[in-house]
Every structure is written in structure tokens, then in C-alpha cells.
Amino acid sequence: MAEMVKKCPECSGINLFWNREKGEIICRDCGLVIEDKMVDFTQEWREFDSSQAETKRRTGAPMTFTQYDQGLGTEVGQKSDLFKLGGAERNKFFRLRKWQYRISTAIERNLKLALAELKRVSSFLKLPKSVEEEASRIYTLAVQRGLVRGRSMESVVAGALYAACRRHEVPRTLDELSEASGIEKKEIGRTYRFVTRELGLTILPSNPADYIARFASALKLSAETQSKAIEILEKAQKIELTSGRGPTGIASAALYVSALIHGEKRTQREVADVAGVTEVTIRNRYKELLEELNLEKDIKKTKKKKKR
DNA sequence: AAGACGAAAGTGGTTGA
DNA sequence: TCAACAACTTTCGTCTT
């Protein structure tokens, strides 16, 4: 009995990702959340002032970084504490509370705006919830360390998202982030580097294989072609053809070759557009792949097959 | 005619003195 | 801080299918 392979109902991709913590199954190709056990009936979470917080905030809320203070706030004292204090102490108390209020409202305001923007960009790119959560966490940390100062809020948001994508092995290119957020590519790259360095986030160099699934589905290539492309990538990595080169270029070249081998030819132009690189780059990588992995025979084989 | 190929010049980013 | 450098892009002419 053949086991049923789960497919994404949206794009029928097979590259599904099970996020155990959140109980979600996510399609890595199109970002669709396929199974989400926690049906979300929650009310609108935004609070506009502390009185609304009283009515809108629910006790026992899950701690989340998409909420500006992770759903948990700290305040300097309550009025009832005042009875315990003397005059000088009392003044100090008010001063502290005033400052606390000022600082927290400034950060709060920033976070509310930023997280709204973050959600917008995230949903535009159809990113899974787990990535959005991670990005929110990164952004929150960045704000707390004052890393946003001197930079536009949007660019830090984009940088945080970019970092979160890489950490969750669902990389998006800088171009995609740029399109979604309206921030220049180099600006995103800069804030991304800055933020990750300052926060000491370790980011693995992105793996070309992570791009394959998404590019392949955009080009409507078969699953066999996909796995062949990944196979090629692995070989290429072993002989260190991949180091130092842009991961998208390598991924697209591998995909291009693999499509040729399986007789599902796509033009260099098509692959280049999807991957966000130029034909020239594909050609260069493609040439290297052919030379180093002697794949010519595989391609010739499929050509002969076609003639018959 | 379209796609593939390759050369040449330009760009943005990294590295090492 | 500056220059050398590698990767990648843009542009354009030529070859192949």
C-alpha cells in the first residue's frame, strides 16, 4: 500500500514543514498554513491605552513577542504602595514613575507601529507564523538596546524579518524583502548585518537547497527535478564549488541543469527571473557545474531519448 | 526569431595593510 | 581609511537551434 504523500492544497508542493511548537504544518513553497490546530478566534489584540488594556487583554494570554511587551508589563509601583513611604521617598517614587512612563510609552509607541508594519510585510510574503514571531522578538530586542536610533523603523523591521527567515531556513532574497517593505536592498542588508552583530545572533550562511523548493514550484517543475537539483547541490558542495558564491545563483543553476536532464527545459531567462539573478550568473555557475560534475552525459542521454 | 553564449565594463561589498 | 579584489550585473555582439 503506497503511503499518501501530503501535498499542499494551494500549490500542491510537497515541501511541508511541521512546526511542533505551534502545531502548524506550513508549506515552504507558498507559505500556506495547512494544519493549524489552534483555530484563532481571538479578538483584536491591539490596545490603545491602558484602560483598553483592562478590557481587551485577556488573563493567561500566551506570551508572545508579536505583542509589544510580550503580553507582560512591569510598572513602577501602585498608589497603594505610597502609604509605606515618607516624603522624600514619595517624591522619588513619583519621579521614577514619571520616567518609567515616558520611556515605556516611547518604546511602546514605536513597537506598536513597528509590529504592525512587520505583520504587513510578513503577510505580504506569506511567511509562517513562527518566522513572524522570531522577527518580532528580534525587533523587540533591537528596540530595547536602542539599535533603531538613527535608522528607519521600517528598515529594521525588514532586517529583522530577513534574519528570522534565514534562521528558520525559509530564506527570502533581499530583493523580495525589498519589494515587500519598500526599503532599498542595501539598506536592509546593512541594518540586517548591524542588528545581528549587535544582538550576537548567529546566522548560518544560507543553504542553496533551501531555495530550491520555492523556485521549483514557481517554475512548475516536477518533484523529481527538485530532488535531482538538490542532489547536484550536495555534490557541488562537497567539492567546494559553492563557497563564496551567492546561494541563489547556485540554486538556480542546479535547477536549470536538473530541468534539462529531466527534459523539462526552462530558459535561462525564466529561471533567472524567479531566482532574482541574471542569466549570466546562471551561465557561469552552470558551466562550472558541468565541468566539475561531468553532467554532460546525463543531458545528452535525455536528448537522445527525445529523438526516439 | 529566440535562446544560449561570452566578453567587457561597471557596481557594491569585503578584506587586509 | 584606502586600495585591491571577487562576485555579480548590465550591455551588447555573435553563435546555435
Q: What pLDDT, on the 0 to 100 scale, is given for residue A10?
A: 55
Residue nearest to nucleotide B12 (CA to C1'): A186
- Which tens digit of pLDDT belongs to each residue from A256-295? 999 998 888 889 999 999 998 999 999 999 888 888 777 7
Cβ atoms A235, A258 nearer than 8 A = no
Which amino acid makes up residue A37? Answer: K
- Which tens digit of pLDDT belongs to each residue from A14-36? 666 655 444 456 666 555 555 54
Tell how strand A24-27 and strand A16-19 pair up.
antiparallel
Of the listed ranges A22-26, A93-97, A158-162, the one predicted with least confidence: A22-26
- Nucleotides of strand C within 7 Å of the protein's CB atoms: 6-11
**Alpha helix ranges (H) inside chain A:** 50-56, 87-124, 129-144, 153-167, 174-181, 185-199, 209-218, 223-238, 247-261, 268-275, 279-293, 296-307
Asked whether residue A287, judged by its CB, lies under 7 Å from any atom of the DNA or RNA strand B, the reply is: yes
- Nucleotides of strand B within 7 Å of the protein's CB atoms: 2-8, 12-14
Asked whether residue A279, judged by its CB, lies under 7 Å from any atom of the DNA or RNA strand B, the reply is: yes
Distance A257 CA to B4 C1' (A): 14
Distance A203 CA to B17 C1' (A): 29
Asked whether residue A276, judged by its CB, lies under 7 Å from any atom of the DNA or RNA strand C, the reply is: yes
Domains with residue ranges and CATH for chain A: 1-59 (2.20.25.10), 65-204 (1.10.472.10), 208-307 (1.10.472.10)
Q: What pLDDT, on the 0 to 100 scale, is given for residue A157?
A: 92
Asked whether residue A291, judged by its CB, lies under 7 Å from any atom of the DNA or RNA strand B, the reply is: no
Q: What pLDDT, on the 0 to 100 scale, is given for residue A64?
A: 56
